[in-house]
Amino acid sequence: MKCQCLQAMTIVYGRCHEEIGSFNDTKYIIGMLERSTDKMERDRLLLFLQKLTLNRKNVKEMMDANGSRVLVDLLTLAHMHTSRATVPTQSNVIEASPDMWRESEKEWYYGNLEKERRGPFSLVEMKELYDGGTIHIKTRCWAQGLDGWRPLYTIPQLKWCLVASGAAVMNESDLATLILNMLIRICEYYPSRDADGAIVRPLPRAKRLLSEAHCLPHLVQLLLTFDPILVEKVATLLCLVMQDNPCISRLYLTGVFFFIMMYTGSNVLPLANFLKYTHMKQAFRVDDARSTDIMQQSILGHIMPDAMVCYLENYGAEKFAEIFLGEFDTPEAIWSGEMRRLMIEKIAAHLGEFSPRLHSNTRALYQYCPIPAVNYPQLEEELFCSIYYLRHLCDTQHFPNWPIKEPVKLLKDILDAWKQEVEKKPPTMSIDDAYKVLELKAAAGGYDENKIRKAYFRLAQKFHPDKNPDGRDMFEQVNKAYEFLCSKSSKTGAGPDPQNIVLILRSQSILFGRHKDELHPYKYAGYPMLIKTIRMETGDDALFSKPAALLPAATELAYHTVNCSALNAEELRREQGIEYLEEALSRCTAMLGAGSAPGDMVVQVCTHVTKCYAVAAQFEGCRGKILEKPAIVKELCRSLFFKHLTQLCTIAAECVSAFAVDHDLQTRMFEAGALYHLLLFLFNYDYTLDEGGVAKSSDTNQQAVANSLAKLSVWALSRLGGYLSDAHATPHNKSIQTAVEALLTPYLAKKLSDNEPEKLLKILNSNTENPYLIWDNATRAELAEYLEVEQTRKIRTGECDPSYGAVFVFSVHAKELIVGDVFVRIYNEQPSFIIERAKKFTIDLLEYLASQAQYLYSLLQLEKSGKVPDSSTRLRQVEMALEALRNIIQNNPGVEIQCIGQFRLLFCLLRLNGCDRLQQHALEVIASVTKNLECVNDIAASKVLVYLLLLLNSLPVCQLTVIETLYALTSSTMIIKEAVQKGGLLYLLDLFCNSTNPQVREKTAELFAKMLADKLLGPRVRIILAKFLPGIFMDAMRDSPQTAAHMFDGTHENPELIWNESVRHKVMVTIKRMKHEFYNAQLENPDFLWNLSEEMEVIYAEVRGELMIGDVYLRILVSNPGWVLRKPKEFTSELLDKFIALCSSKQVDGETLEAVTQAIVSLFSAQRNLCDQVPGLGHIPLIFEAMACRNGTVSKAAILVTHQLANSESCIQTMAQVESIAPMKLAMKIRKDMIGLACETINKLFQKEQDELVLQAIKAEMVPYLLGLLDGALPDVENPAGTKAQIVKALKAMARSLKFGEQINAMLSKSTVWSQYKEQMHDLFISDTNTAGYLTGTLHPDQRRRTTGL
């Protein structure tokens, strides 16, 4: 009934605890639990208490009633649970399971009488004694862990195993879980920090009670149940209890860290959280100076590997748990299930029989004893530094580019480790000494840890100061001996470990190699140790037989440090590192041979030292030291000799490039034969590999390595000779450049400055023939043979070609003409080939031609004597040079300017008659430069045009080229002037008139047109040409040279040209004769000038007596006035000028004036648009002036011209601005026969309604005059009626004037005659027949108009 009530209370309070509040009898419930002997009642009470903890006040009551201790006593029963399931784990060690019970575990003593002590007995034996009545509930009992002899019923384990009755509701593990949950909840009610994060002091009572000695050890020992739930709960509870707990530093004495690390389950995160919080806060003592700081501070330092402790401390519990449960083999973590099993085995062995004892005595207390360091076979060759295993970190094959989080910190730690390693001394106590203190005899294989631990316990108890006040000194010696045997120092050898030093050196190399930027600002602090290592290793006689060679790693580190920072390079120099590295290099290069392999120690040392020198050469101070050691350059070049060591050769080539920054070092390497080695590498290049698109790797493809070495050799050669510019520039070394140009040809040597090694190497390993290079198998073989011979001599004897290749000559080049590093013959065959320095090549060609001037002069003399050598080699070479000069100018615009100052030479070559090919090439050169105005001006200034003109007659095949050249040259007025003076026009006239080549004639006409267009000399040229040809030819040449040639060959008679066969023949014969005479004279004396008299003119009968104005025959124009003139405006102006001149003459030539007037009337009648241009010419005022004269012939001519001009409105507007009506009236009075035409003209004028004309008419009293004519009979007029009709229309037009109409009408209204005509229309009396026709003769049929009759 009691249990049912408790169960009901548990349910009710669990559901309604907030409404019920605190339970007033909590202390009573605790008392019931402590007194209870019924298992069911116990469990029901615990379940009820678990619900009571939901209220904080109940928790306080529980603590006041000593509830924490009661609960912890019940917790220990968990060790009695024998039916717990075995958890599958990763380890195969002994774990908590039923078979762990041992009959031999005798822990108990009892006594029924005063001072009676019987035992020890096992728990099973105690149960038998109780069942047999030997012992009872009041029997006093004791076991290790109890605070004294106590009645049996007050000991929880004996009470619940021997006395208790009833059936339990929960097994021991569930019971412990329930209690642990209660304790966790209680601790959560009392946090160690307040809301502001401040530590609460004193420690909350709940945690303080659990931290006491009668509670904490038993909580910790629950870990040995290995029950996953209990272990997790205990770890959680311990975290809560230990937070900011002053007792945390002594927590390790409970053995908690041993027990946790023995756990085999996988739910380790709570355990990891606990370890993370506590492992660095234990106040234990360690005497192992060789351990890292973190390992010395962590209680786990002797149990777990360094990396695991670092992971726990640096990365947190989660990452630690991940590593702890996994399989890891990396530079940061080496851990596996096997290592975990080994750790558990070692801890289990260290704990010995304590874990099984808890089954017999759950109150047993663990007596702490330091555990010997656990040695893991997997870490035997490892060196841990900072957070990395250096051997794994150095294993770049398995762990390439492993990330290093804090390189600077790691470098400091490695330097400290290095210092500790080199300063390592044997421990102060030997193993034998420790055995002697522990009273153990020296054994060959040593003692196992159990025997050492038992000996320690025995002596520690014997000499403990509490039991033996006189044994303090001995107690301390025993402790020291045991701690030494437990430390790692006892297991390591004496003195520095070479393997560790190698790892330290290689790790630093990796650091500097991967984290150059981060380490750049820091000066390397390890040079004293590094230089000492290099010096000692180099001087060691056993250098090449050591199992752990330090020299390769040390030299590699030296390279990486100087490569990282200039500060380090200078520091290395100050520490005499340059000198000691040279000693190491010399000793190792001496061991190089044909059998050396890339992995050999000597090869590695040479490689690293060479790289170090390559970097050090960047700094002037280091270069100075290198120059002081000639052996460095010598050994460097020796390294290049071993071609099979491609990696070493690659590094050596890079070093040559680095040394090339100094001129003295360049010379030193040159004299050491570096060129021989580097050039040979170039011929191992296979361009098909690079262009094939196939993936390649230097690790697997030897040709890829050879290609890379070839490229580096090109780079080294470029820097060695000073070919590069900008950022890669090195000093120019003339000696080296001379040798390279001789060995590679100047063309290939210049390619070194392009910084495109692939292109250069492809050319070198291909067969090529271009203007710069003749390169084939023969030249390659010839060069390779020379290089191999000299290379071998230099290495073996130290001697070689004194010029170092500067005088080497390829046999195939001896027969070629080479000008400016160009094969002239090849260039002429490939004129489109791009010459890199076209300007220089042009200058070189001109200099070559100048150098042949004396020979050419001799050739000219021979030419005059008729003894020109036809097969002269030098002549052919000059011809080749001229052809090349032409090609370079034609294909490289701009270079022709280099010919300035050389034109006398080039033009003189045109005089070599008989050397047609040479003349032709010289002419082509001249023709090619004429596009440049500066060249043209220089030619003009040179006064050498005569030689070009002579060529027109001496070399007919080149006439077209000469003409084209002259066409270009005539851009200069000076050239035209010289051409005129030297008879150029005569030669050209001869070509135009007498050449049988139509193209030559057309080009000549085109040339004439250009000369005529010259502003300064064009008129003179026209005058000269006009002495031989009509002017229309010059205009035709300008418009269409082809048309001009056709005109010359045709027969023509039109207003502008009278040309037939006889005229043409006379011109051709005259010009040909004159040209022949002049050519002979000029051939003898090139300075002979062409003088043409002013009177000279070719006159032919066909044009005699013809009146010609403006190159127009007037007779033919009158008969054909519709002819389209070439220059109508100019002709109109000249025609009117002639008209005005005739009219103004004192002695008027009536016949000529009539012809001119007839031409004007015919022209304006046929081409009226020409009238519109007359106002702009300024002739209209002059015509009216002429009209006003008293000469009837002139007046008639003026009326005729004015009559035609009146058809143009623009002319009428101009007439209105000048005095025109009065002169017209005067002329009408003088020539009454012209009144009809004059009235028609007046009618046209007034029809345009020009007020100015009306005003003139008023002033001139023209109205009365016209009215008088209306009133008269007009006997001198052919058509009086028509004339009067014109007068009427004119008067009506004047009357319409807005400004003067009223005045006119007033005049008309006064006239009686006007009244007869004003109302009638008189248009039918006006004829459309051109009156002028009656006076001037028959008009052109196209100009006639039909007449309109009545």
Q: Please state the rounded mean pLDDT for residues 1277-1284.
A: 86
Q: What is the DSSP letter of 1126?
A: S
Task: Say which range, 266-270, 790-794, 869-873, has the weakest mean pLDDT.
Answer: 869-873
Helix (H) or strand (E) holding 745: helix 734-751
Query: And the tokens for 344?
Result: 């558990």
1136: left (phi over 0), alpha (psi -120 to 50) or beta: alpha
Q: What percent of the chain has pLDDT over 70?
A: 91
Per-residue pLDDT tens over the stretch 325-361: 999 999 999 999 999 999 998 888 888 778 888 888 8
Task: Yes or no: say if 690 and 698 are a contact pair by the CB < 8 Å rule.
Answer: no
Q: Range with the lowest mean pLDDT among 491-505, 939-953, 1054-1068, 1091-1105?
A: 1091-1105
One-character DSSP codes across 481-499: HHHHHHSGGGGS-SS--HH
Cβ neighbors of 355 (< 8 A, separation 6 or more) are 96, 100, 224, 348
Helix extents (H) in 930-1030: 933-942, 945-954, 959-969, 973-981, 984-994, 998-1012, 1018-1026
**Distance in angstroms (rounded) separating the CA atoms of residues 1082 and 918:** 22
Task: Look up residue 746 and give its two tokens.
Answer: 């100047």
Angstrom CA distances, 238 to 54, 174, 867, 1220, stand at 21, 19, 125, 137
Closest to 1059 measured CA to CA, from 1098, 1014, 1004: 1098
Mean pLDDT on 1191-1217? 90
Banded pLDDT at 571 (limits 50, 70, 90): confident
Is pLDDT above 70 for 92?
Answer: no
Local confidence band at 1334 (pLDDT 50, 70, 90 cut-offs): very low
Q: Is 166 left (phi over 0), alpha (psi -120 to 50) or beta?
A: left
Cα distance from N-terminal residue to C-terminal residue, the chain: 165
Q: Assign residue 352 a region: left if phi > 0, alpha if psi is -120 to 50, beta otherwise?
A: left
Residue of 918, 885, 909 whose CA lies nearest to 899: 885
pLDDT of residue 289: 45
CA distance 1084 to 840: 38
Q: Tell how far CA 1002 is from the center of its chain.
A: 57
pLDDT at position 1057, please? 82
* Residue 1154 burial (10 A CB sphere; 0-12, 13-18, 19+): middle
Q: In this predicted model, what pLDDT tens digit does every residue of 724-779 receive, in sequence order?
A: 888 888 999 999 999 999 999 888 888 898 888 999 899 999 998 888 888 999 99
Residue 1053's alpha-carbon distances to 883, 1043, 1058, 1123, 1152, in angstroms, are 50, 16, 4, 12, 22
Residues 13/20, Cβ–Cβ less than 8 Å: yes
Residue 546 pLDDT exceeds 90: no
Cβ burial, residue 80 (10 Å; 0-12/13-18/19+): buried
Residue 426: is the preceding peptide bond cis (ω within 30°)?
no
Is the distance from CB of 1122 to CB of 1055 less than 8 angstroms? Answer: no
> Which residue from 1032, 1053, 948, 1033 is spatially nearest to 989, judged by alpha carbons?
1033
Q: Let me know if 27 is exposed, middle or buried by CB neighbors in 10 A (0-12, 13-18, 19+).
A: middle
Computed over every residue of the chain, the mean pLDDT equals 85
Q: Within a 10 A sphere around the Cβ of 1212, how many other Cβ atoms?
A: 22
Q: Residue range 640-648: average pLDDT?
A: 91
Predicted confidence (pLDDT) per residue in 482-526, tens digit:
767 766 555 555 567 888 889 999 999 999 989 988 998 888 999
Say which amino acid occupies 236: T
pLDDT digits (tens, 9 = 90+) for 969-1025: 998 999 999 999 999 999 999 999 998 899 999 999 999 999 999 999 999 998 888
Residue 956 near residue 1092 (C-beta atoms within 8 A): no
**Sheet (strand 108-111) strand order:** 118-121, 108-111, 140-142, 150-151
Mean pLDDT over 1261-1285 rounds to: 86
Report the pLDDT value the prediction gives residue 191, as an integer from 0 to 100: 93
CA 72, 75, 77 angle in degrees (round to 5)? 135
Beta-carbon contacts of 1218 under 8 Å, excluding residues fewer than 6 positions away, are 1180, 1181, 1184
- In 3D, which of 139, 137, 133 has the Cα closest to residue 109? 139
Is residue 1329 very low, low, confident or very high in pLDDT (cuts 50, 70, 90)?
very low
d(CA 261, CA 281): 17
Q: Which is nearest to 73 in space by CA: 188, 139, 3, 159?
A: 159
Q: Is pLDDT at 96 greater than 50 in this prediction?
A: no
CA distance 590 to 795: 12
Query: Which pLDDT belongs to residue 141?
Result: 93
SS3 1105: coil
In this structure, the dihedral spanned by the alpha carbons of residues 951, 955, 960 and 962, taken in order and rounded to 10 degrees, is -20
Task: State phi, psi for 199 to the nearest 5 degrees.
Answer: -70, 135
- Residue 1019, C-beta contacts closer than 8 angstroms, at least 6 positions apart: none
Question: CA–CA separation, 60 vs 54, rounded Å?
Answer: 12
* Assigned token pair, 257: 């860290």
- Write out the H or E segment, with its range, that includes residue 389: strand 388-389
Confidence of residue 97 (pLDDT cuts 50, 70, 90): very low
* CA–CA distance, 1196 with 1157 (Å, rounded to integer): 10
d(C-alpha 1340, C-alpha 674), whole Å: 101
Under a CB-based contact definition with an 8 Å cutoff, are residues 1273 and 1318 in contact?
no
Residue positions counted in the chain: 1350
pLDDT value of position 72? 92
Question: CA–CA separation, 1219 vs 1183, rounded Å?
Answer: 11
Half-sphere exposure of 26 toward its Cβ, with a 13 Å CA cutoff? 25
Q: Say if residues 71 and 183 touch (Cβ distance below 8 Å).
A: yes
How does DSSP classify residue 83? S
Q: DSSP 3-state assignment of 637?
A: helix
Q: CA distances (Å), 391 to each of 351, 399, 411, 1322, in order?
A: 33, 10, 15, 135
The percentage of residues in the chain with a pLDDT greater than 90, rounded to a whole number, is: 36
| pTM, full prediction | 0.62
User: pLDDT grade, residue 448 (50/70/90)?
Assistant: low
Q: Which of 1019, 1067, 1027 is nearest to 1047 (CA)?
A: 1067
Q: Which amino acid is at 140?
A: R
Does residue 87 surpass a pLDDT of 90?
A: no
Most confident segment among 236-250, 272-286, 870-884, 1234-1248: 236-250
Helices (runs of H) and strands (runs of E) counted in the chain: 70, 16
Sign of CA dihedral 994, 996, 998, 999: negative
Q: Which residues pair with 109 in a beta bridge?
A: 142
Cα separation, 770 vs 173, in Å, equals 98
3-state secondary structure of 329: strand
Question: How far apart (Å, rounded) are the C-alpha atoms in residues 984 and 968?
Answer: 14
Residue 428 has pLDDT above 70, yes or no: no
pLDDT of residue 1124: 85
